[in-house]
Amino acid sequence: MALSVCTFNVNSIRSRIDLISRWLSEKRDVDILCLQEIKCQSEQFPFEAFESLGYSCAVNGQKRLNGVAVCSKIPFSEIRMEFNDEILDREKRLIEVKTEQTAVLNCYIPRGGEVGSERYDYKMEFFDALRAYVKGLLEKEERVVVLGDFNVALEDIDVYDPELFEGAVGFLPSEKEKMRSLLKCGLHDCFRKLHPESRSFTWWDYRSAGIWRDEGMRIDYILANERMCGECFGTEVDLWTRRRRSPTPSDHAPLIAEFGSLGGSSVTDLKQTAD
């Protein structure tokens, strides 16, 4: 059975709920929708809007800042919102769910700051703590997806102008090193696996109207362990929600990955079925 998974930094769920409802009902059917930067307490989350579309929601909210949620059409068998680590639990930036045999960890990595600043140090520490947690997750689960807003553009191809971004937050060598270290513990970048040369972004600055010139960064990722990545037969950045003036868009666009069970079917078969 095919499984569609999406990551989307909504930059305030209550400001974006009309847009997302239209997107899900008119444009895109998604099985598991992972949201970051919902900017509300858990009880303020618009559960009814998602439930009306067939979703159950798990929410780890925070007043005015951060916050993550998972909305799924597949029942949750497990939900985790605390990770027994001061760095990971300091702010509401992680939520883990298990649906059937797949563990999904939804992440909102701190943006950070200039080298030596408190926010920079927190970002570095968060990556280290996250890597340690993910390493344990990979050891106990056979099917793992780690996704979200990582606030790092990993390669030159992931920004519209590498020279312009040199030394900028989100493109620092130390940030890239932490991201690569996370990948090396056993994760694969699903988008880059299927599109090794594609220049495709997930974030564009509001202030410069960069979406209309495609002046952006790829900072949102869907990562998976080897087994799950081998089942990934499609990825896409859906620009429908971003190229709008009304309802007001987020500064990110959703990234979607399609997975299919390899039990009796090859990735080639799945691609042909999708076509």
* pLDDT attached to residue 209: 87
Q: Given a cut of 60, is residue 271 above it in pLDDT?
A: no
Spatial distance between the Cα atoms of 197 and 107, rounded to a whole number of angstroms: 25
pLDDT, tens only, 168-183: 999 999 999 999 999 9
- DSSP string covering 37-85, please? ---S-GGGS-HHHHHTTT-EEEEE--SSS--EEEEESSPEEEEE---S-
CATH number, domain containing residue 159:
3.60.10.10
> Which residue in this structure is represented by tokens 């998976």?
224
Distance, C-alpha 9 to centroid of its chain: 7
Confirm if 44 and 61 have CB atoms less than 8 A apart: yes
- Number of compact structural domains in the chain: 1
Q: Is 173 helix (H, G, I), strand (E, B) or coil?
A: helix
For range 264-275, the mean pLDDT: 36
Q: Given a cut of 70, is residue 81 above it in pLDDT?
A: yes
The CA-based dihedral angle spanning residues 123, 128, 131, 135, taken in that order and rounded to the nearest 10 degrees:
-160
Does pTM surpass 0.75?
yes
3-state helix, strand, coil split of the chain in percent (to 5) is 35, 25, 40
Q: Which domain holds residue 108?
A: 2-274
pLDDT, tens only, 3-14: 999 999 999 999
List, by residue number, the catalytic residues: 108, 149
Spatial distance between the Cα atoms of 238 and 229, rounded to a whole number of angstroms: 20
